[in-house]
Amino acid sequence: MSSPSAPASPGSFLGKAGPLVLARLFTAGLTLSIPLVLARVLSLEEYGTYYQLFLISTTLYFVLPFGVTQSLYYFLPRAEQKRPYLGQTLLFMSVAGVVGAALLVALLEPVAELFSNPGLLEYRWPLAIYTALIMGALPLEVALTSQGRTRESAVVYLASDSVRAAAMVLPCLLGASLHGMMVAVAAFAGLRYVATWVIALRGTTGPLVSGKLLREQLVYAAPFGAAMALSFPQQNAHFYLVASAVAPALYAFYRVGCFQLPVVELLYTPTSEVLMVRLGELEKAGRLEEGVLAFREAAGKLAFVFLPFAAFLFAAAPEFISALFGAKFLPAVPIFRVSVLGVVLSILPMDGVLRARGYTRAILLSYFIKAVVTVPLVWWGVRSFGMKGGIVSWAVAELVGKATLLVRVPAALSTPERPLRIVDIIPWPELSKATLAACAAAAGVFALRAGLVGAWVGLPEGFLWRALPLAVAGLLFVVGYVAVLHVTGIRPLRVLADMRARRAA
């Protein structure tokens, strides 16, 4: 047994996520602008078609990598020679991209018939080229982050997301419509693919591929890859079934209802990635008992952001939809309120822990159970209740999936000297205080709307005027949330200052 060592200082490992969070925060506004701008410059039918095109592409994007790219988080922190893992991952993803493009070309016609949207066929080749190249470029940020090069990864996120946003928005603003956008994103994917090979392999030595290491990587990745092959299609089954049941214009309303600000992606992904690297470092140093502290720290920080965020979106849903998309999309409010449950379910970075500890079979089993629940549930929900049935069925399936992951996390963080239970890994003080403050602030927003019935009628149509009710509700929510946290003993500004000080240290 290793000699006792002082626990890592709180915030020390999460401080490494800072550059990634800041980069994504900067680009979040650009990314957010994409569906907002397109909602105004495209017709409802084109807007629905845009979502259907990227639904097909992203399904292939998440299924075909088969966990190989994500396996870098496991192998690189432990590897003495990193180049073979990087090289064989890049080659695997290039082949996967070609397979994805071939599938898309072959299957787009029957999918267009399923969606009752023959207009999809006009975009077959730009979409196929984009899918092939964007899949081949998937390992770029993962390769940097898994080596602890978070600052470089942050710069790449910043540049890539900025160019991507421009490629998707500018052609439509300039009158090139949806077809021009698809050509532009295909060109963007080509630039990113070239950059991936140049940046990911820079500074590495040794062979590009090792048969022995490749077999080890594939054995590790296979359960997680199979899990993704189950997870992403079932997670998006409601999109496919709703798209097959309604016209593209109505599908546009459904996608607006499922829209989320990129706060979860902005915070959850880099936090989970850095947590995975941290757990690998602790295991290598013989200090795995500190892993539960790292997990509780990560989950506690996420709780103070995600719980109030979800509560505000639920309470201010009408103001949010009207401000961002316009009053014509207000029928999407009930769907939107159900969809915010996904934010709450992202508080615990469970999948990252299981991948970091090699529990990929547990992830596969969880996703299998979730798929078994999802397919019949969503099919019944959409056929019986339409779009509302689709989103409620999705929410129930998500709860089932998260529960099956949660039961395996204690074992992944346990040591022979300290077996853990579920109650041991949950950051109870942070969760309870954040929940109390978020619910109280949300109640204030509902009370404000009840007291100001009709007050916003007759406002001009400009964005700033449409955003005024949302801004007022947001100000009230923030004041209420901070005030209740203050009563419970939490000083948000002090916490932020402490995190900045630790990050600087």
Q: Are 443 and 481 in contact (CB under 8 A)?
A: no
Is the per-residue pLDDT at 3 higher than 50? no
Could you report the per-residue pLDDT of 37-46, keeping only the tens digit for each?
Answer: 888 888 888 9
Between CA 312 and CA 493 the distance in angstroms is 20
Q: Binning pLDDT at 50, 70 and 90, where does residue 97 land?
A: very high
Distances (CA, A) of 86 to 37, 81, 196, 198: 37, 10, 11, 12
- Give the sign of the dihedral formed by CA 469, CA 470, CA 474, CA 475: negative
SS3 at position 418: strand
User: Where is pLDDT greater, at 50 or 328?
Assistant: 50
Is the per-residue pLDDT at 2 higher than 50? no
pLDDT at 145: 82
Between CA 78 and CA 83 the distance in angstroms is 13
**How big is the chain, counted in residues?**
505
Q: DSSP class of residue 498?
A: H
Distances (CA, A) of 398 to 54, 72, 85, 344: 22, 26, 33, 11
Q: Binning pLDDT at 50, 70 and 90, where does residue 7 land?
A: very low
How many CB atoms sit inside 10 A of residue 504's CB? 8
φ/ψ (deg, to 5) at 358? 80, 15
Q: Of 154, 126, 155, 141, whose CA–CA distance to 56 is shortest?
A: 126
Could you report the per-residue pLDDT of 149-163, keeping only the tens digit for each?
Answer: 778 888 888 889 889
Q: Are 96 and 64 in contact (CB under 8 A)?
A: yes
Q: Binning pLDDT at 50, 70 and 90, where does residue 498 land?
A: very low
Q: Binning pLDDT at 50, 70 and 90, where does residue 496 land?
A: low
Mean pLDDT of 230-255: 88
pLDDT at 427: 94
6 inside domain: no
User: Where is pLDDT greater, at 121 or 371?
Assistant: 121
In the chain, the number of structural domains is: 1
Mean pLDDT of 406-428: 94
How many CB atoms sit inside 10 A of residue 293's CB? 15
Between CA 337 and CA 331 the distance in angstroms is 11
Q: Are 84 and 217 in contact (CB under 8 A)?
A: no
244 inside domain: yes
1 inside domain: no
Between CA 27 and CA 355 the distance in angstroms is 27
- Counting Cα atoms < 13 Å in the Cβ hemisphere of 251 gives 25
pLDDT at 11: 45
Is the per-residue pLDDT at 447 higher than 70? yes
Q: Are 311 and 442 in contact (CB under 8 A)?
A: yes
Between CA 209 and CA 201 the distance in angstroms is 12
Between CA 351 and CA 186 the distance in angstroms is 31
Task: Report percent pLDDT > 90 for the chain.
Answer: 47
4 inside domain: no
2 inside domain: no
Between CA 179 and CA 358 the distance in angstroms is 43
Q: At what angle do helices 18-41 and 248-257 cross, to 10 degrees?
A: 150
What tokens appear for 433 in the block?
């205080």
Q: Residue 105 CA to chain centroid, in angstroms?
A: 27
5 inside domain: no
Torsion angle of the four alpha carbons 317, 320, 323, 329, in this order, in degrees rounded to the nearest 10: -50
Q: Binning pLDDT at 50, 70 and 90, where does residue 453 land?
A: low
- Give the sign of the dihedral formed by CA 429, CA 430, CA 436, CA 437: positive
Between CA 72 and CA 85 the distance in angstroms is 7
- Give the sign of the dihedral formed by CA 422, CA 430, CA 402, CA 57: negative
Least confident of 293-307, 314-328, 333-347, 457-471: 457-471
Could you report the per-residue pLDDT of 331-365, keeping only the tens digit for each?
Answer: 999 999 999 999 999 999 998 899 888 887 888 78
Q: Of 50, 138, 57, whose CA–CA distance to 101 is shortest?
A: 57
φ/ψ (deg, to 5) at 415? -125, 165
Least confident of 131-135, 239-243, 457-461: 457-461
Counting Cβ atoms within 10 Å, is residue 303 exposed (0-12), middle (13-18) or buried (19+)?
A: buried
278 inside domain: yes
Between CA 382 and CA 400 the distance in angstroms is 19
Structural domain span for residue 130: 12-504
7 inside domain: no
* Residue linked to tokens 């149509």: 461
pLDDT at 360: 78
Q: Are 304 and 494 in contact (CB under 8 A)?
A: no
Q: Are 75 and 220 in contact (CB under 8 A)?
A: yes
Q: What is the pTM of this model?
A: 0.74
How many CB atoms sit inside 10 A of residue 147's CB? 20
Q: Are 218 and 65 in contact (CB under 8 A)?
A: no
